[in-house]
Structure formats: C-alpha cells, structure tokens
Amino acid sequence: MRQKECSFIQELLPLYAENLVSEETAQLIKEHLAGCTSCAQDWENFIRPLPDPVSLEKFTPEKRIENKLFKRLKKTVAAVVLLVIMSGPG
C-alpha cells in the first residue's frame, strides 16, 4: 500500500538527511521522493530551515493592509457600479 510506504519513507527522512541509511535505502527514498509529491514536499520542509519569526511578523501586517485595501477597492467598485447605473440611459 502506498500510504504505508509513505509513512515508512517519512520515518526514514531524518536518517536520510544525516546520511545514516544504507545506499540501498537511500536509493529507495530517492526513487520514492521522485514519484511522490507529498513525501517530496515533506522532504523539502525537512531540509529547509524554519522561517525567521521576524519575517513572519512582518508578513502579517502586510496581509492585513492588503485586506483593508481589498475591502476599500470593493467599496469603490460598488460606488462606481452605482454611479453607472444612476447615470445610465433613462
């Protein structure tokens, strides 16, 4: 079963990262990662350093501003639509 193989591979990822698996196992993992996107994603997350908390903090307000702008834009669009309707033929 594929699910079983995935959990097996994911259990081995830390060992694979430290080169603690046999060449045969490493080959098996490599082959699995090439064909399994979910395990490949896990592997990428595993080898990638954790995101800097400072940059995370920076990211959140930016998102909030974006949201505000989007809301304002929606309001503007609504106003324009109303204007078009009101100044339309009739």
Binding site residues, Zn ion, CB under 5 A: 6, 36, 39
C-beta closer to Zn ion: residue 21 or 36: 36
Minimum Å gap between C-beta 6 and Zn ion is 3
Q: Least distance (Å) from Zn ion to the CB of residue 55?
A: 30
Q: In this complex, which beta carbon is closest to Zn ion, that of residue 22 or of residue 37?
A: 37
Give the Å distances, CA to CA, from 5 to 10, 12, 35, 80: 9, 11, 12, 57
Measured from the CB atom, the residue of 13 and 39 that comes closer to Zn ion is 39
Helix (H) or strand (E) holding 48: none
**How far, in Å, CA of 1 to CA of 45, rounded?**
24
Shortest Å distance, C-beta 36 to Zn ion: 3
For tokens 């929606």, the residue is: 74
CB of 44 to Zn ion, least distance (A): 13
User: CA-to-CA distance for 39 and 9, rounded, in angstroms?
Assistant: 8
Give the nearer residue to Zn ion in terms of CB position, either 24 or 62.
24
Written as six digits, the tokens of 33 are 């990662």
